[in-house]
Structure 1
Amino acid sequence: MEEQVKTLQSWIDRAQSICFFTGAGVSTESGIPDFRSQNGLYKKNLSFVDVVSRPYFERDPNQFWPLFKEIFRIKLLHEYKPNKGHEFIAELESRGKQVRVITQNIDGLHQEAGNKYVYEIHGTIKYAHCPKCKTRYDAAHMNANAVPKCQIISKNKQPCDTILKPNVVLFGDSIHQFEEAIQSALSSDLFIVLGSSLEVTPINQIPLLVQRKGTIPMVIINLSATYYDDMFDLVIREPIGATLSSL
């Protein structure tokens, strides 16, 4: 791995604009599980896709919320902190690099570490909003109520009382900031994938677009092989924190 790290270091040193594409492998080092693998959490014979879907939320929001909060461990959000991977990316920005982060993660740890330009393609777990009046609520409100509802008082002195929708992109929703993420990737000097299997569409098309441009060095750091490894200029199958700490 030593030679690979030296190569990566030289590319980072030369690059002024770096785009990171991050997946679950970045957050697992903070103790956050890969939610898709948590089959034991689901009840009523529902799969992950069944529960975390817009149709299920719209059909039965009272049943949706307890399962959603259990899957995503809402009560534990305050315990999750940025790890060495998040901190490395944030430090590059603090030292003057133009850093953009495209993330599949919903935990907000890139912002907590200090990155300013983060495209949360799948939204964020830290907030929910009222579908009716669009008022935003934080995790404390979600935790304080089994089924969180809007507390805004209307002109007729009645509470809105609409059940909130999480700011996570559910199955059936449109993903966020996709065009902006593509432009950031294509305008970078270096494109680095961290901890993603690149199996989720349509965002796994972003590395393909970068490769098609043909002028941007591409790196992937992921413990397991991916279907797209062949299109990267540098492939490192090591823990993210340990790899970035060695730079």
Structure 2
Amino acid sequence: MLQDDLPAATVDAVAALLQTARRILFITGAGMSADSGLPTYRGIGGLYERKDTDEGFPIEVALSGRMLQSRPEVCWKYIAQIGAACVGARHNRGHEILAAIERAIPDTWVLTQNVDGFHRDAGSRQVIEIHGNARSIVCTRCSRRDTVSDYHALALPPMCPACGHVLRPEVVLFGEILPPEATEAYERETRLGFDLVVSIGTTSVFPYIAAPVIEAHEQGIPTVEINPGDSEVSRFVDHRIRSRAAVALQALWQRFAASRA
């Protein structure tokens, strides 16, 4: 069942889990921001649908830390496409609902792969941006940091006005390590454990994104997936809602809020 044709029994069961949960982890991917007008990463400019970029590189090579060092103009061409989409859109109802759940259940955390900053815009405070945030750019030499308001206005590659070296977005490129602060938060909170883990709009191809779902499943902790398609964790979850994120979350919120009225 897709989109507005939601399975009522499954929605009721997941809403009941929300009502009793005390520590919740929401794991979000590109599908979370699809209702904001952002394409999923398999669709950004067709990059992941094509074998190679215009320059003849696989997209994972073009968007790598090594490419930023050797040919920054190539790397920035594709960084700018993603950054422009993030800066030009805004959060959606699904983001607002996760923020509302955090207000109702204070030990609610969001682990997001998205670099658009929408979770914080919507009011979530306990957010682990495991891949960074595209709104901030930093110098590769002097560490000067600025906020990007318009990716379309950037020269490619953009250069630091202070020292003249290449700027970079504060996001994780292919082949780079995850940001230490986000990694520490991830490890700290997963060690404490959760009594409900919900995966939303992600294919879960990265081990650190799939791991909380798989570990919860192995420990008998309830798991949920909201995703129109299949993912690497689909076989591990107790409940699946095959729907866009905002649609499913709105249905869950209506039942959850009604139970607390």
1:22-101 correspondence runs (5 A): 22-38=28-44, 40=46, 42-70=53-81, 72=82, 74-101=83-110
Q: Distance in 2 between matches of 1:23 and 1:76?
A: 15
1:173 to 169, 172, 176: 176
Is 1:108 the counterpart of 2:117 in the alignment? yes
The reply on whether 1:149 has 2:155 as its aligned counterpart is no
Q: TM-score, normalised by structure 1?
A: 0.87
User: d(CA) in 1 for partners of 2:223 and 2:139?
Assistant: 40
Q: Distance in 2 between matches of 1:6 and 1:93?
A: 19
Match of 1:138 among 147, 152, 159: 147
Q: Determine the C-alpha separation between the residues in 2 that align with 1:170 and 1:78.
A: 18
Q: Output the amino acid matched with 1:234.
A: H
Of 239, 244, 247, the residue aligned with 2:249 is: 244
- 1:108 to partner: Cα distance: 0.7
Q: Which residue of 2 aligns with 1:234?
A: 239
Change (3 A) 1:172 1:144: same
For structure 2, the residue ranges without an aligned partner over 5 or more in a row are 1-6, 48-52, 253-261
Which amino acid in structure 1 is aligned with residue 54 of structure 2?
Answer: K
> Offset of 1:96 from its aligned partner?
4.2
| Alignment match, 1:195 | 201
Q: Cα RMSD over matched residues?
A: 2.0
Opposite residue 27 of structure 2, the aligned amino acid is F
Paired residues of 1:36 and 1:48 also in contact (CA < 8 A):
no
Deviation readout 1:119-143 (Å, 9 max, x if unpaired) = 1111111111112221211113754
233 and 130 in structure 1: CA distance in 2 versus 1, 3 angstrom threshold:
same
Deviates further, 41-50 or 55-64: 41-50
- Conservation of the 8 A alpha-carbon contact between 1:178 and 1:203: no
Q: Is this contact kept in 1: 2:87–2:135, CA < 8 A?
A: no
State the 1:223 CA deviation: 0.6
Pairing 1:124–2:130 present:
no
Give the whole-Å Cα distance in 1 for the aligned partners of 2:27 and 2:100: 16
Deviations 1:76-117 (A, max 9, x none): 444311112111100112234321100111111101111111
Per-residue deviation, 1:202: 3.9
Among the aligned pairs, what percent are the same residue?
29
Q: Give every structure 1 segment of 4 or more consecutive aligned residues whose post-TM-superposition deviation is greater than 4 Å.
A: none
- Local SS of the residue matching 2:39: coil
Structure 1: tracts of 5 or more residues without a match:
153-159
What is the CA deviation profile of residues 218-243 of structure 1, one whole-angstrom value per residue up to 9, with x for unaligned ones? Answer: 11111112242222111111222111
**SS across alignment from 2:169:** strand
Report the Cα distance in structure 2 between the residues aligned to 1:55 and 1:199, rounded to whole angstroms. Answer: 22
Change (3 A) 1:182 1:223: farther
Q: Secondary structure at the match of 2:209?
A: coil
Over 3 Å counting, the alpha-carbon distance change for 1:195 and 1:141 in structure 2 is closer
Distance 1:209 1:143 in 2: 42
